[in-house]
Chains A and B, each alone.
Chain A
């Protein structure tokens, strides 16, 4: 546990508070207040990310602190996109996801400024990490929808929203291409930096496992449609579990030392 007594830390803590308060307000039926707090939290997250960008002089996606900081920014626009274009609700979950992803940035990972090692000085660095981060938010949202489905909840506020099982499918359908692109950009970059497009590194193998879980999900859903909605939901949740292992366990555990160890 590391508390950051810095401007960066303060911005993160205020953002987390805004997201948590937005969640509480929404849960208490104060929908408008929740929306305002969520939007305010997003603005603060943007300021926090911009501050970090100026501090490190490169796109802040180098280590887990910066990665979680970026996830905190991505929640709001993805939430807006899903409501506006996909008829997917669950804004309360997005507020909670925002607070959850910022927690490690605020309290767990160090914010020491580090210079980019030679391998990270590549144009593929930003798109590779950024598309992964976006896909992770979609998959996290899908997990909340899958959870709603398992618990038998219906969309609360707007009747026009998709039912949870279908919303889960839609979210995974949007996130999966990004997950694929992240994997392939990483492979391409690996070829340029390390001489091999596939190095059998633990991080690569877990990324492949995460991708395969969703490939399996699509095949399963193609075979059975909505006949077994609970299995569909469990499958979607397994994908997010694999992503969490890929992002956190592989980088932090000594079991999986490999080429991606610098990302801690």
Chain B
């Protein structure tokens, strides 16, 4: 092996070791500070040096060109790093300065139900970016796992969970007695029938509640209503505290993209299912409600460089699997066909690499 090749290999090894330690250091910083650290100028120089090393390695080591799997994995790393740079905030700014391209790397949009907007608040700043189209929110909704549950806590800190399903009963102990679920309401309301106040489930709206019955062994049974949104406060004489909880299974925003007054795309976006349009991905991020109604907060992310990164991933995985698994499997199949003289019917060990 030539001196230059040896130097290159040592440089690659040191670069790998350095990145390992930098990753560990970054883990201690937390995500936000680590992001800033890995996007800083010194690290920018490091990334550039790493790509240069990979490119030099591909150019100098004949083996990397001769063995397709090795070429794929090294090329894959180059593409991932190139895609990462192309999608970075710095690259977006550079393209804006050089070619006047307006594209926001990342931002957030807050949209009320039945309204549309094209402004996104740019991440890490108070500036607003304008998208070349409007995003309309037709409806935002939450979905829940059924049934919810009533959490019960005694004065001495013991806790129980009772599924909020009519008929479910839980025996607590000899002193506290038992608790049972009588009715579950999606939208609890009180009506008047004669002189009596009667609870009922009103259509539309949302005021989830459960009607429970508490039966202490010695005392009279009592009916109570537990509200999800208004947990209330336990009274001093209460032996048990109750809360009604439901677990969210999904957050869904029903979106449409409006361009020149026409709806050009639409999707019910939820976690893991973003909408992709016009060079941006729209993600369900947060939600809320104010006096004007319910609103969703979308995360808007530029798709620049993403295809390069994904192409890099594909090459990396293909190269690594082919190099470490494919060659062995192929050798084993060929070995069997040729009735190899090895005494076991297994895969052969990989040969020592050629270091040319």
Q: Which residues of A contact B (CB under 8 A)?
A: 84-87, 115-119, 121-122, 160, 162, 166, 169-170, 173-174, 176-177, 180-181, 184, 187-189, 191-202, 205-206, 208-209, 212-213, 215-216, 219-220, 222-223, 225, 250, 255-259
Q: B240 near A: Cβ within 8 Å?
A: no
Q: Select from chain A the residue with minimum beta-carbon distance to B281.
A: A195
- B13 and A118: CB pair below 8 A? no
Binary flags per residue of B271-287, CB closer than 8 Å to A gives 1, else 0? 11110000001010100
CB contact under 8 A between A205 and B274, given known A115-B249, A173-B324, A191-B306: no
Q: Is the CB of B13 within 8 A of A216?
A: yes
Closest A residue to B309 by beta carbon equals: A197
Residues 251-282 of B, flagged 1 when their CB comes within 8 A of A and 0 if not, give 10000000000000000001111100000010
Beta-carbon contact of B317 and A181 below 8 Å: yes
Could you say which residues of chain A place their CB within 8 Å of the CB of B34?
200, 202, 205
Per the bound structure, the CA–CA distance linking A34 and B225 in Å amounts to 59
Whether B249 contacts A173 by the Cβ 8 Å rule is: no
Enumerate 11 A-B pairs (CB-CB under 8 Å) in ascending A order.
A87-B349, A115-B145, A118-B249, A177-B317, A188-B313, A215-B16, A216-B17, A216-B20, A219-B9, A258-B31, A259-B31
* Contact with B19, one of A189, A193, A212 (Cβ below 8 angstroms): A212
Instruction: Please tell me if B235 contacts chain A, counting CB pairs below 8 Å.
Output: no
Write out the residue numbers on chain B whose beta carbons fall within 8 Å of the beta carbon of A118. Answer: 248-251, 270-272
In the assembled complex, the Cα of A188 lies from the Cα of B250 at a distance in Å of: 20
- How far, in angstroms, from A192 to B285 measured CA to CA in the complex? 12
**How far is A122 from B35 in the complex, measured between Cα atoms in Å?**
26
Q: Are B250 and A87 within 8 A (Cβ)?
A: no
Interface size for chain B: under 10, 10 to 19, 20 to 34, or 35 or more residues?
Answer: 35 or more
A-chain residues with CB within 8 Å of residue B355 when the two chains form the complex = 222-223
Determine if B349 and A212 form an interchain contact, defined as CB atoms under 8 angstroms apart: no
> How far does the alpha carbon of A195 sit from the alpha carbon of B273 in the complex, in Å?
10
Given contacts A181-B321, A200-B31, 19 further A-B pairs with CB under 8 A are A84-B346, A85-B332, A86-B349, A121-B272, A177-B317, A177-B321, A180-B317, A184-B316, A196-B301, A198-B84, A199-B31, A202-B27, A205-B27, A216-B16, A223-B9, A223-B13, A223-B355, A258-B30, A259-B31
Alpha-carbon distance A160/B285, docked complex (angstroms): 57
CA A208 – CA B77 in complex, angstroms?
13
Q: Are B145 and A195 in contact (CB under 8 A)?
A: no
| A256 surroundings in chain B (CB, below 8 A) | 27-28
Report yes or no: A213 in contact with B20, Cβ–Cβ below 8 A: yes
Contacting pair A192 B273 (CB below 8 A) = yes
Residue of A nearest to B332 (CB): A85
Q: Which residues on B sit within 8 Å (CB–CB) of A205?
A: 23-24, 26-27, 34
Q: Mark B320-350, 1 if CB is under 8 A from A, else 0.
A: 1100110010001000000000011011011
Chain A min CB distance to B275 (Å): 12
A209 touches B324 (CB 8 A): no
> Do B249 and A206 touch across chains, with their CB atoms under 8 A apart?
no
B352 part of interface (Cβ distance < 8 Å): yes
Which residue from A86, A184, A209 sits with its C-beta under 8 Å from B346? Answer: A86
Please, which residue of chain A has its CB at the minimum distance from the CB of B355?
A222
Specify which chain A residues have a CB less than 8 angstroms from the CB of B353 in the assembled complex: 222, 225
